Structure 1
């Protein structure tokens, strides 16, 4: 698939190799490129996740001295068919979650984090 057919999201990470291992082993991403330690990109479907470490160009301080850091509330959103079984599988693999599964009008969701603290939302749409 050409890169222009992909939707790209950049995450600042503390350790590129740890992030690659996390996304490939837990969420079925595949490695597109991995010139670590500065950067790697992984793909799942049409999502290209750019994993930028501290030595990447995206990790450089801004003119005011602010350094990009991982974390926050913006997140990638991964649709799953059975959220309860996905949560059980990931908990068994050692992942922690920010809360329990919550339900809303559109479906059920839960947040976990990558090794750098970047959030990942697992979402099971409501039955239609």
Structure 2
């Protein structure tokens, strides 16, 4: 079997989306190629990650524009794994990312919900296999 290579995320503006994903989230811009009709093929993914990425697709009409930020019906639709939950949370907060809750430490790992500028909900998640323990959290606080 193959793998999922890209997931499309509809955005209102390419450059604004690139700035958020590469700046605030620290993703890398993998591709940005012009296409016919003024559209572009824009792919971003977490820095240093191989494999899956996001295809940032500019909304072309009112129907697509109405879905920006609500592609998953208000549910968390994207999951960003980290090996440094506290560090990434602090860096993202300093970059102006909107968090919708305080970090939680669950059986499956450390998690916090944030949203991109369009309203799409994301989990920043450090899975339990690499998640700091409560004792570790006390040492870093």
TM class by shorter-chain length?
A: 0.7 to 0.9
**Per-residue deviation, 1:29:** 2.4
Using structure 1 for the length normalisation, give the TM-score. Answer: 0.75
Matches within 5 A, 1:5-84: 7-25=5-23, 26-35=25-34, 38-39=39-40, 40-44=42-46, 45-55=50-60, 61=63, 67-71=66-70, 72-84=74-86
CA distance in 2 between counterparts of 1:61 and 1:113 reads: 22
Larger gyration radius, structure 1 or structure 2: 2
TM-score (norm 2): 0.69
SS in 1 for 2:92: helix
How many angstroms does 1:75 deviate by? 2.1
CA distance in 2, matches of 1:70, 1:77: 15
Structure 1 counterpart of 2:89, from 62, 78, 87: 87
**Which residue pairs with 2:112 in the alignment?**
110
1:122: which partner in 2?
A: 124
Gaps of 5+ in 2: 131-141
CA distance in 2, matches of 1:8, 1:35: 18
Higher normalized helix content (fraction of residues): 2
Does structure 2 conserve the Cα–Cα contact (< 8 Å) formed by 1:6 and 1:47? Answer: yes
- In the TM superposition, what is the alpha-carbon distance from 1:15 to its structure 2 partner? 2.0
1:42-68 per-residue CA deviation (whole Å, 9 max, x = no partner) reads 23321220112222xxx5638xxx943
**Contact kept? 2:83, 2:126, Cα under 8 Å:** yes
Which sections of structure 1, spanning at least 5 residues, go unmatched? none
Taking the aligned partners of 1:99 and 1:35, their CA distance within structure 2 comes to: 38
Task: Give the SS at the match of 1:19.
Answer: helix
